[in-house]
Amino acid sequence: MIFVKNLHKYFGKLEVLKGIDCHIREKEVVVVIGPSGSGKSTFLRCLNKLEEPTSGEIIVDGIPLNSEVNVNAIRREVGMVFQRFNLFPHMTAIQNIILAQEVVRKTSKAEARKIGLELLDKVGLSDKADEYPDRLSGGQQQRVAIARALAMKPKIMLFDETTSALDPEMVGEVLAVMKDLAREGMTMVVVTHEMGFAREVGDRVIFMDEGIIMEEGEPNEVFAHPKNPRTQAFLSKIL
Amino acid sequence: MGLNWKAAIDSVPILNKAALLTLELTAGAVAIGLVIGLFMALARLSKKKLLRAGSIAYIDFFRGTPLLVQIFLVYFLVPKLLNWDTLPDNYQYIAGVLAMGLNSGAYIAEIFRAGIQSIDRGQSEAARSLGMTQGQALRYVILPQAFKRVIPPLGNEFIALLKDSSLLSIIAIQELFYSAKIIAGRTYQPIPMYIAAALYYLIMTQLIAQWVAYMERRLGKNDLR
Q: What is the full per-residue pLDDT of chain A (239 aa) written as tens digits?
A: 899 999 999 999 999 999 999 999 999 999 999 998 899 999 999 998 899 899 999 999 888 887 776 788 888 889 999 999 999 999 999 999 999 999 999 999 999 999 999 999 999 999 999 999 999 999 999 999 999 999 999 999 999 999 999 998 999 999 999 999 999 999 999 999 999 999 999 999 999 999 999 999 999 999 999 999 999 999 988 87
Q: Does B148 touch chain A (CB under 8 A)?
A: yes
Residue B60 burial (C-beta neighbours within 10 Å; 0-12, 13-18, 19+): exposed
Q: Is residue B77's pLDDT more than 50?
A: yes
The answer to whether the Cβ–Cβ distance between A90 and B222 falls below 8 Å is yes
Report in angstroms the alpha-carbon separations of B100 from A73, B26, B53, B164, B166.
44, 8, 22, 8, 11
**Does residue A197 contact residue A190 with C-beta atoms inside 8 Å?**
yes
Beta-carbon count within 10 A of B167 CB: 20
- What is the CA A121 to chain-centroid distance, rounded? 21
Expressed in percent and rounded to 5, the helix, strand and coil fractions of chain B are 85, 0, 15
Q: Is residue B223's pLDDT more than 60?
A: no
How crowded is the C-beta side of A138, counted as CA atoms within 13 Å?
A: 14
- Render A19-86 in DSSP notation, one character per residue: EEEEEE-TT-EEEEE--TTSSHHHHHHHHTTSS--SEEEEEETTEES-SHHHHHHHHHHEEEE-TT--
Q: Is residue B160's pLDDT more than 60?
A: yes
Please name the helix (run of DSSP H) or strand (run of DSSP E) that holds residue A78, with its range, or none.
Answer: strand A78-81
In whole angstroms, give the CA distance from residue A225 to residue B23: 78
In whole angstroms, give the CA distance from residue B164 to residue B107: 13
- Helix, strand or coil for residue B20? helix
Of B70, B69, B130, the C-alpha closest to B101 is: B70
**Shortest CA distance from B142: residue in chain A:** A88
The answer to whether the Cβ–Cβ distance between B145 and A89 falls below 8 Å is yes
Cα end-to-end span (Å), chain A = 31
Cα end-to-end span (Å), chain B = 53
Interface test with B, best of A42, A88, A158 (most B CBs within 10 A): A88
How crowded is the C-beta side of B93, counted as CA atoms within 13 Å?
A: 13
| pLDDT computed for residue B8 by the predictor | 85
Question: What percent of chain B has a predicted confidence (pLDDT) above 70?
Answer: 97
Please name the helix (run of DSSP H) or strand (run of DSSP E) that holds residue A113, with its range, or none.
Answer: helix A109-122
What are the start-end ranges of the E strands in B153-204? Answer: none
- Helix, strand or coil for residue A134? helix
The answer to whether the Cβ–Cβ distance between A86 and B120 falls below 8 Å is yes
In whole angstroms, give the CA distance from residue B136 to residue B46: 15
Q: Is residue B224's pLDDT more than 50?
A: no
For B:149-208, CB contacts with A below 8 A are none
pTM of the model: 0.86
A&B contacts, CB < 8 Å:
70
In whole angstroms, give the CA distance from residue B154 to residue B109: 10
In whole angstroms, give the CA distance from residue A149 to residue A101: 10
pLDDT tens-digit profile of B11-27? 999 999 999 999 999 99
The answer to whether the Cβ–Cβ distance between B131 and A76 falls below 8 Å is yes
| pLDDT computed for residue B35 by the predictor | 97
Amino acid at A76: R
pLDDT tens-digit profile of B44-68? 999 999 999 999 999 999 999 999 9
Of B148, B130, B128, B151, the C-alpha closest to B138 is: B128
